[in-house]
Amino acid sequence: MGFDEVMKSVVEKLKEALLAVENWGADALAWFDGVFPPDTRGEKIKHWFHVALPYLIAAVVLMVVVLFCDCCCRCCCGRGSGRAKMMKAPGRNTRMRRSVFEADPRGYFQNLRSHPGDELC
């Protein structure tokens, strides 16, 4: 199977996919016209919007509360994957990420000795 044959096959599959999407769109519009006829469409959409509005508001409020609680737990409680493990920096009165120290402890102590007055204990 040569490159030209593969390209022809790909083009044919893309045409079939485009026709399927076009047919799906026409079917969706026909269904929408059946559910919401053009002459009463505005009234029906307004009615269903008023019916669904309390549920939409409740869903938005619930999402905001969940996101707020998740953010608070990550920041304040130290839970979640968004917070790095911290440790007291050896030889200093500060805190540092444990992963930074574990990646190069020798380099950390060399840097500590090269800056002797930098926040020492």
- pLDDT tens figures, 66-85: 888 887 776 666 555 556 78
Give pLDDT < 50 ranges for the chain: 120-121
Tokens of 33: 């016209």
User: What integer pLDDT is reported at residue 82 of this predicted model?
Assistant: 53
Tokens of 79: 């839970």
85-96: pLDDT as tens digits:
888 888 888 888
The answer to whether residues 95 and 117 belong to one domain is yes
Q: Which residues touch 32 (CB under 8 Å, ≥6 apart)? A: none
User: What integer pLDDT is reported at residue 79 of this predicted model?
Assistant: 54
The answer to whether residues 89 and 113 belong to one domain is yes
The answer to whether residues 69 and 95 belong to one domain is no
The model's pTM: 0.38
The answer to whether residues 89 and 119 belong to one domain is yes
The answer to whether residues 30 and 44 belong to one domain is no
User: What integer pLDDT is reported at residue 86 of this predicted model?
Assistant: 86
The answer to whether residues 25 and 6 belong to one domain is yes
User: What integer pLDDT is reported at residue 100 of this predicted model?
Assistant: 87
- In the block, which residue shows the tokens 């930074």? 100
Dist. CA 101–CA 76, nearest whole Å: 23
Question: Number of structural domains, the chain?
Answer: 3
User: What integer pLDDT is reported at residue 120 of this predicted model?
Assistant: 44
The answer to whether residues 48 and 72 belong to one domain is yes
Q: Residue 82: in which H helix or E strand, if any?
A: none
User: Domain containing 18: what range?
Assistant: 1-35
Dist. CA 108–CA 99, nearest whole Å: 12
